[in-house]
Structure formats: C-alpha cells, structure tokens
Chains A and B, each alone.
Chain A
C-alpha cells in the first residue's frame, strides 16, 4: 500500500514538472508544446499555429479566490468598480462587496468582465489564456491529448453543450479531469480568453459580403471550415458576441502562465 502511494505521488509530481525541469506553480497543469489546427479562420490566417508549452490553472477561478482578490484590491469591489470596466451585473450573485452570501466559495466565479479577469490574472502574476491555448487544453479527453478521435467524448460534449446552463454551477474539480489533469473546461462555465475580440463573425448569407467589408477590414471575417466540432463553433460564436465590460451569469475564467 505504501509503495503504491509512493509511486502515485512520484507520477503526480512528474506530471507537474515542465520540459525545463522546473516545478510548476501550485495547482497548475503543464500543456506541452504542440501544433494546433485552427478551425475558425479566414483565408489570410495560418492554418496551423505553433503553441509553446505553458501552465494552465487546473481549476477555474472560484468565488473564494476572487473574494481574496477584491479584498486586496478595493477598486475591484462591486460598489467601487468603474462602469467602463464592468457592467451593472458585476458580481451580482454575491451578497455585498465582501460577502459571498449564498454564493459557493468553491464554485467558479462568474459575472466578471474581461477587465476584471485580466486584473485578477495580473495580480496573481499570470495572464488570461489565448483562444488557442484554451482550445488546446480543451481538446483533451480524459484519456487522450486530442479527443477528436474519441467519438464517445465528442458525443458527451455535444450533449453538454446542448443542455441548458445550470442555474447554480457545481463546485470546481467535482468531475474527472482531462488527460492533462485540467478540470471543468467543459460543462461548467464559459471562460474568458485574452483575445476574445479576435473572434469576428459575419453572416454566411451572400447578402452579407458587402456588409463584411464595411464592418471588418482585411479578411471578410472568419469562416467555419470544420462544422463537425459544434461545441468549438458555439464557443467561437459566443466569444464574438462579447464585449469586454460584459458580465455574464455563466462566464468565468482561469489563468495561464508562461514557462
């Protein structure tokens, strides 16, 4: 029994060491360097992008985590935040500036704007993931780094994305982690990314072509080449509907760190 425990701990530790042999920050998982095939891109975007290795929070940022942040940074408290940085629903599910009330400290924090998420990440010495980084982490099923070849995983995801959002989000880490040891990338809250504003969607209709060129210079917005990954498309469409000051009941975030 003791031997088993020792081996388990060694493996866990091994998984937390980066390629450079540096230990990872607490509660972060290593995503190794990889190449990512971009599903939603215009003709002038690269098809495949190189992604450097990075560390990602195993868990979404929780209400409890965010409470610590606003205690240390009063300017980000609900009654003090500047309206340009967060809309009037910011942290609406808390009882007050510094009281969670009925909000579960271990549930993902939601109703936070992009500005607020970014400020938290900076406070932690981290940053928000890019879309590509988030999607690479989310590609993994429980058993494989790339869940695209796992039809059962895909089916489960479709079911998750089609079911209505929970009124109350479950505690973080309550379900099985993915291959990288990351929890709650699917089926919990949507998550902010640093470059959400690069998702520029225009319509597919022919009549929209003129509209494309009026609204967006350069490429005519992005096309969805691979429609089979509907959850990815939903995430892409969702991101393109966001503005940085929006707070949404089921939109939270997590952080990454460069290695």
Chain B
C-alpha cells in the first residue's frame, strides 16, 4: 500500500483579483523594446531577437577545382562578412589570370564557417522573433537583452490541459450552465476576436469557431478522442477540468460569468513536465488593492478544494475533517485524505492526491 504523506497541497488559481506577474522572455539574446514602468497591451511587442537563418554548404574544392589544402588562400571573404546572392567567396585565377573561377554565395547572409576539407558554410538571413506582452499591464522589471516582467492586477483562472499559443480578445459566455455545451449555432460573425466559454464542444463547434475566427475557447472538458483535432486549431483552447464529460467548476463559472464582456488573455500552452506550465485565462481588473496573498502551508480544515479525479471530478467543497490514518476506497486501496463538504452539502471522502486547493 502506498501511503503518500503529502503535506504540500497542489493548488489551482480561480482567483477574482490578485497581483499577477508574467515573464516575457526571448529564448536567445535580442533587444528589449519597452521601458521599465511602461504600460503595455497584450499585443505590444516587448522584445525582439533574430533567429539564425538556415545554413547552406558550398564545396569550394569542387567549384574551384582545387584540393582542400589550396582553398584557404583563395578565399576572398572572411568569417563573419556579409554576403549577397552572387558575392564571390573564393576565386581562382587560371591561365596567367586570364580566366577566373569564382565560388559565389548562393544566398544573402553571412560567411559562417570554413573547414580543412574545403567546405564553406553560409548562414542565410536571420528571421525576426518577437515576443508580446500577452497581458495588459505595466512593465515591472526589465531583463536586458532578454525581456521583461509584466505586472497587473486581475483575475486568474488556470486550466489543466490546452493547445495552441496565446491570444487576446473579449470574453464571451454563451452558456447558462456549467455543463452546457457550446453549440456551433452560438458562434457567428459577432464571435470574431472573442474568447468563448462553454462546458464542452463538438467537432462542429470547433469548425464554426475556426471559420468565424474566434480568439480562443475556454471549455470545461473534452472527449480525449478530439485532442488531435483541437491541437491543430488556429487558436488556443484551455480545458479547466480535463477529459470526459465534466462541467466547469462552480467558482470558475461564476467568475467567468461575472467577467463576461471584459478583455482577456488566453494561453493554451501546456507543458506537463520539465518546466510545468498550465493553460490560463487572465483578465486585467483595476482596483485599488487586491487582497493580501494567503500563505500556503499544509492542508487544514476550512480549505476550499477542487476535486480532480473520479468519482467527484470538477466539484468544489470545503475540508471539514482530516483523515490521516486513511480510508479504504472503492478501488480497494487505503488512502489518507479528508472529508469534504461539497457545495451540494454532501460529505465525501477524497484522498489528498485527488485534490487541489483553491486559491
């Protein structure tokens, strides 16, 4: 029997107002384009770099008709020199200089390398890489050459799985109930540029969303068989509960309904390991002061929790008793956990590992 005595709870943010900081950094050195303290919008480009272009290889031996050890002294360009298509990299004079054999660069770029076997490497033109602010906020920190930290006060709703990149748009709730599917018929020309919310979706819904150019979709759950299709959509999707037929948890639904019509940012990026990242929805809200951050710490009575596994997946409640010695569950295992009073008032046992603390 495995008895995980985990005292450090898993947590999920479904937070109406908090200080949020997001790092916006390049993967290679570049240039930061905004100043400390600047106000930025989600589509403000905050930093830019250049991604090295493709490498082209040229056999100077073959072009010039000389052995490898003779090539180096025929070079007419040095390492790092800029090149245009046709620029001579090396040249051989024959017949007392009357004939010249040239080795021209095939592309515009830089002379990147050369080796003893007579090969030259030409690096094609770099491609620009930009990173945006993603959220509306203020530049709170600048990391020279790499990026910034953007800070804002707002709502944060985290999901568990997503696909696609980042986008911004107006939040739109087209369902009245957390379990109600988002129908294709609810998506029309007015949906363009919006981040739409629903309990679940079908293939028809996704097609309609793509056709009408929504900015993103926030769903409670999805059939696992649709993952491949969703991963190829041209906009981000964030699932709040997981796979199957699970309604949006009540706090998230109520918060999203409250923020219907607000500008929002959505990220579908999901990295389950080696740098764990969750999909999220962030809505900037202007208030004088968000509530003080509650310290984490071990599980305790009164904690609001979100259940993340069967048989009560997606439900929310409050811890009313700790059951440290464990309880034998339907699977036959004896697991430590707690008694949770659900919002429906039912009291159920849930193992610690199957809970997230609500923040």
Answer whether A and B are interacting partners.
no
